Structure 1
């Protein structure tokens, strides 16, 4: 896939996929209403920092799909190459981890426990999707390269030092 097509597809999916999971649904659940709790200001700051960090990671992951993988995060327009650079050297599922981090950050920022429940639902969906669909597809498509990557890079909890293999 050409990079320009991959970039356009990734941009559109960014608004549809992550925009729905970490934007539209949390808004529908909370209408961005900030509950007023005493002494909650440090939690709000932590939540805002989590959201900002998550946005950076999501954007880096999307860019990595285009420049390294020549594809998009959408399964029907998957990358031609196994994406293992950048943030993917620390964790295999940075987009999912970042989306969960953004939702948890929103829960803290807004002091909305309903978003904790939403994060749990999202995590259950992501983990099931990864285990039953993504991992088998990647194993078939990229063989030993993916097996080596999978052995060295954790799925959900980022490693502190980047994996140096390829």
Structure 2
């Protein structure tokens, strides 16, 4: 596919990604926080993810500044990127939908927080992370640029590595044996694998 088409597809996907989150962001602001484990490190990590998934790709899409780092991919890889992005968006929406009032963008427990084990949470503990990994893979396949294309994967990998254990510990502290039993019967990101 031509680079302009790929940039347009990626931009539409990112806009949809942001739109999916809006109603849940509003709902989340109305809930009372009972356990807040947000740290300065987490704020920096969240900013790093925004740089990798939004800012650097937008610089690539809207300017020629990063063109020196372009690479070529076969058309089938671009098609795979479109399909991967569609799956990522569906999973991102479904995860928000299943979580409802329990969703939080940071390490927080809200009043009335319940352990979600249904829907996409039936076999994956962290489907939101899975959706972002898929989005980052799609980014690399739709934006054939060593900087803009790979920035999402690199930045999100750092975020995942620094946050996942803290999130699991927070849920274990909140839900105890119920969460431990849930952990034993599910996988973190991909059912039956990881």
Q: Give yes or no for contact 1:22–1:99 (8 Å, CA) kept in 2.
A: no
CA distance in 2, matches of 1:50, 1:110: 13
CA distance in 1, matches of 2:51, 2:188: 20
| Secondary structure at 1:128 match in 2 | helix
Q: TM-score scaled to structure 2, two decimals? A: 0.63
Query: Does 1:72 pair with 2:103?
Result: yes
> Cα deviation per residue 1:134-158 (whole Å; 9 max; x = unaligned)?
1111001001110011111111222
Query: Does 1:100 pair with 2:133?
Result: yes
Q: Give yes or no for contact 1:91–1:159 (8 Å, CA) kept in 2.
A: no
Where structure 2 has 5 or more consecutive residues not aligned to the other structure, the ranges are 1-22, 30-45
Q: Give yes or no for contact 1:10–1:62 (8 Å, CA) kept in 2.
A: no
Pairwise CA distance, 1:120: 2.5
RMSD: 3.0
Paired position in structure 2 for 1:45:
79
Where structure 1 has 5 or more consecutive residues not aligned to the other structure, the ranges are 12-16, 161-166
Q: Could you list the structure 1 runs, at least 4 aligned residues long, displaced by more than 4 angstroms after superposition.
A: 32-36
Paired position in structure 1 for 2:155:
121
Pairwise CA distance, 1:6: 5.9
Query: Does 1:27 pair with 2:57?
Result: yes
Q: TM-score scaled to structure 1, two decimals? A: 0.72
Q: Which moved more, 1:85-94 or 1:73-82?
A: 73-82
Structure exhibiting the larger radius of gyration computed from Cα positions: 2
